[in-house]
Amino acid sequence: MRWGLVTRSLADLSAIPRPAYHIIGNHGFRSSQRRYVTESTPGSTSPSVLSLEDSEAYKLTLGLEAATHKLMFLHKKEVLGQHVEFDGYMGTKRKQSSKLNFVDVHNIGLNNKVQVVCKSGADILQYSRHSPIRVRGKVVARKANLAISNNALAHIEIDYESSTLLSTFPSNIMLSEDKVFGPEERNLEMRASLKLREALLTRSNVYATVCTHFSKHGYAIVETPLLFKSTPEGAREFLVLKGSKGEAYALPQSPQQYKQILMSGGIHKYAQIARCFRDEDLRADRQPEFTQIDLEIGFAGEDTVMKETEGLIYQIFRKHSREQVKLDQPFGRMTYDTAMTRYGSDKPDLRYDLLIEDVTDHLAEAFDNPDVNKALRIEVLSLDPGNVSAKDIIGVFDSLSVTSQQRSLLSEHLLSGPRLSWSKAGFVVGVYDELTGLPGVPDDLIHLLAKKRPDLIQHGRILIVNTEPRAPRHGGWTTMGRLRTALHRAAVENGAIPKPSGFKFLWVTDFPLFSPSSADEPGQGGAAGITATHHPFTAPKTQEDFDLLSSNPMAAKAAHYDLVVNGVELGGGSRRIHNAAVQEWVMRDILKMPSERVEDFRHLLNALRAGCPPHAGIALGFDRLVALLMETDSVRDVIAFPKNNRGEDLMVRSPSVMTSEQLAAHNLKRLEGSSERPENFRVAQELIAEVPLPSELPARYAGHTSANEAQHETKGLSR
């Protein structure tokens, strides 16, 4: 039998046993007519989209088994001279003469190709580019004189015998690596982009390395449930409705509570590559559903977890980094307070040395109040302009989100003399001159600082001075920290300095145990006005920190550690509260969570009460880790089917609007006057229950100003 695309006349088809068919229509298809058929179904008038040609071509692929050879191995010495069968994708066609043609066939990995030699009229010449095909032929040494090539496949070619078209790539679809693909064309982007395919393959290989590492080091790999319950851990949750009785699962923000229960159950070394879900703002490094490397160790503390984590990171980077890199052993450590003071960030990039200097103490003698350093913080960034003009760097500063009003506050209100107003803050930026000083800063102050810190205040250097009220640090950034990072990024983009290379890992430790709560960060919804910085299960750092919980909880430090690399938070972990009484006391008396919210954690408290050993753990962002290995800034570049910044997957068009039947099944109705989102999407927030909204909202939504905002928080569903 001759393999290939089969086209037949109606007379040829008459002998094929089949149900009765009607000819519905036709249009041009290559050199023949494309005929559409539909089975004679009583009462049916809709034509089928299936053509006779498509039907016959598809039938040839039924029962298809694996080919005899892989294209990538056709250059092997033992294959030369053999008749082979291999799969690939149709490439370019070249007509050498009236009788001789060349066809490139790409391997199924789309990263190499082999040349097929055929005569004019061969079936393979009829196939469209990018179509998947199976080729049969004889492997021969390539006759043409070739330049020296490291590609072994360039030294052979295939004498064509026959082929099978496995599927047709339409001619009206554009496919090229230069094309910008829309999110609904993700499959085409994969086909066209070698970089994206490499990212997905790297992700797969890293996944395997992680699992192998855990198995070798005695971890029990445990799959925890995805259908969990709603508990106030900090982030907003996704709900999964169940039935019509007002019940819902919550998708887990992390496996945190399950893995602590495992510690109580005697599984003292747990690991998992876990899927997690958080309904939060979607930046370049976040997705509503994401993957994390999760581990927990019983009878252990911070140092054990850090050491185990470093071993895993060494293994991953040794095998999968794009270039050979040398990592510090062990990773450096820095306290949260030091990171915020010197770098203005809890995730500092140590690859460049631009440090923030607190110079308040050096200037104290210039002010009437000797305790100025207790109420005020004066910081300086000192930059050497190098080969770039100071005007250009100041222009970068001007382009940042620092308003002229903020910049002028310093010179107009703060450093106008020895009597300093501490109520306002702002910036001064300029070039220091030994004779004229720094515009905007009084001469006595800048010359005093030059005397005290000659390493900072030098002729020709660019100085950025920031003044702000002194207060405890909370959050991930200071104003000067954002400025430091933005200036460095802009300098790299403008070619003023080279882009930093390599990987600098760092443990940031001793975070505040609690932070102020806000409308954006409601935390656990307690009435104390504070929220757990990491999560409510994190233990105090020391006995002294534990004692502070009763008197000054905001001053307590946590046994909390983040793993940072190149300015990116790769993961975070902590030693946990393993005592049930202490855990409940923190929830009730420190965070002042309402009783019903504490009861949401009763399952965990019961597990801790059953003689749970001390334990600690960490979660590493798997998506971010692969993005680092691929040297890309966005995790979307290493996820097969990412969501956009509205949480939508436009490839499959999700989320979708609930049908009337689905609404009825869950005892819901659509909110009147609800508007449609772009791409005709509606979000779950547009749905409410048939029952009225309760007059008293749960305490976790106390920060909302209206019932409508609380409905938005709970996905628009009320029970």
The predicted pLDDT at position 163 comes to: 96
pLDDT-derived band at 378, boundaries 50, 70, 90: confident
Q: Are strands 462-469 and 426-431 parallel, antiparallel or unpaired?
A: antiparallel
Q: Report the C-alpha gap between 26 and 33 in whole angstroms.
A: 6
Secondary structure class of 601 (helix, strand, coil): coil
Domains in the chain, CATH or no CATH each: 71-165 (2.40.50.140), 199-333+510-638 (3.30.930.10), 352-499 (3.30.1360)
Write the pLDDT tens digit of every residue in 169-205. 999 999 998 999 999 999 999 999 999 999 999 999 9
pLDDT digits (tens, 9 = 90+) for 408-421: 333 333 333 332 33
- Give residue 713's pLDDT band: very low, low, confident or very high (50, 70, 90): very low
Annotate 606-642 with DSSP letters as a single string. Answer: HHHHTTPPPEEEEEEEHHHHHHHHTT-S-GGGG-SS-
Per-residue pLDDT at 670? 83
Across 382-396, 649-663, 679-693, the highest mean pLDDT is recorded for 649-663
Q: What is the mean pLDDT of residues 437-449?
A: 82
DSSP state of 273: E
Which range is most confident: 9-23, 302-316, 462-476?
Answer: 302-316
Report how far residue 237's alpha carbon sits from residue 240's, in angstroms, rounded to the nearest whole number: 10
Q: What angle do CA 43, 48, 49 make, to 5 degrees?
A: 160
575 beta partners: 616
| Dihedral class, residue 441 (left if φ above 0, else alpha if ψ from -120 to 50, else beta) | beta
Q: At what angle do helices 390-399 and 479-493 cross, to 10 degrees?
A: 120
pLDDT of residue 402: 46
Residue 369 reports pLDDT greater than 90: no
220 has a pLDDT exceeding 60: yes
Higher confidence at residue 318 or residue 712? Answer: 318
pLDDT: which is higher, 633 or 12? 633
Q: Which of 296-305, 451-460, 475-484, 701-710 has the lowest mean pLDDT?
A: 701-710
Query: What pLDDT is stored for residue 398 in this prediction?
Result: 59
pLDDT average, residue stretch 603-618: 98
Contact present, 336 and 511 (Cβ < 8 Å):
yes
For residue 312, give the nearest of 293, 332, 292 by alpha carbon. 293
Q: Find the DSSP H helices in 137-232.
A: 186-192, 194-216
pLDDT of residue 14: 35
CA distance 313 to 331: 10
Please report, for residues 117, 197, 452, the alpha-carbon distance to residue 104 in angstroms, rounded to integers and kept in the order given. 9, 21, 72
| Selection from 45-54, 177-186, 293-302, 526-535 with the highest mean pLDDT | 293-302
- Looking at 18-27, 358-367, 633-642, 673-682, which range is the least confident one? 18-27
pLDDT digits (tens, 9 = 90+) for 462-492: 888 888 788 888 889 988 898 888 888 877 8
The better pLDDT of the pair 427, 436 is held by: 436
- pLDDT for residue 393: 61
Is the pTM here over 0.95, yes or no?
A: no
Question: What does the pLDDT average to over 445-463?
Answer: 88
More confidently predicted of 138 and 474? 138
Q: Is the pLDDT of residue 13 over 60?
A: no
Contacts of 502 (CB under 8 A, 6+ apart): 325, 326, 351
Q: Report the greatest alpha carbon distance in the chain.
A: 108
Its sign, for the CA torsion 576, 578, 582, 584, is positive
550 CB-near residues (< 8 Å, 6+ apart) = none
Q: What are the helix (H) ranges across 530-621? A: 543-551, 580-585, 595-599, 602-609
**% of the chain surpassing 90 pLDDT:** 57
For the packed helices 602-609 and 256-264, what is the interaxial angle rounded to 10 degrees?
20
Nearest to 331 by CA among 562, 626, 534, 559: 562
pLDDT tens-digit series, residues 686-707: 333 333 333 333 333 333 333 3
| Whole-angstrom distance, CA of residue 238 vs CA of residue 191 | 32
> How far, in Å, CA of 138 to CA of 68, rounded?
12
Specify burial of residue 157 (Cβ count, 10 A radius: 0-12, 13-18, 19+).
Answer: buried
Region 428-455: mean pLDDT is 84
**Segment 64-77, tens digit of pLDDT:** 999 999 999 999 99
Q: What's the CA gap between 579 and 595, in Å, rounded?
A: 19
Q: What is the predicted pLDDT for the residue at 700?
A: 33
pLDDT at 445 over 90: no
Question: What are the residues whose beta carbons fall under 8 Å from the beta carbon of 199, sequence distance 6 or more?
Answer: 626, 630, 632, 637, 638
Computed over every residue of the chain, the mean pLDDT equals 82
The answer to which of 30-44, 533-547, 704-718 has the lowest mean pLDDT is 704-718
**pLDDT, tens digit, for every residue of 560-606?**
999 999 999 999 999 999 999 999 999 999 999 999 999 999 999 99
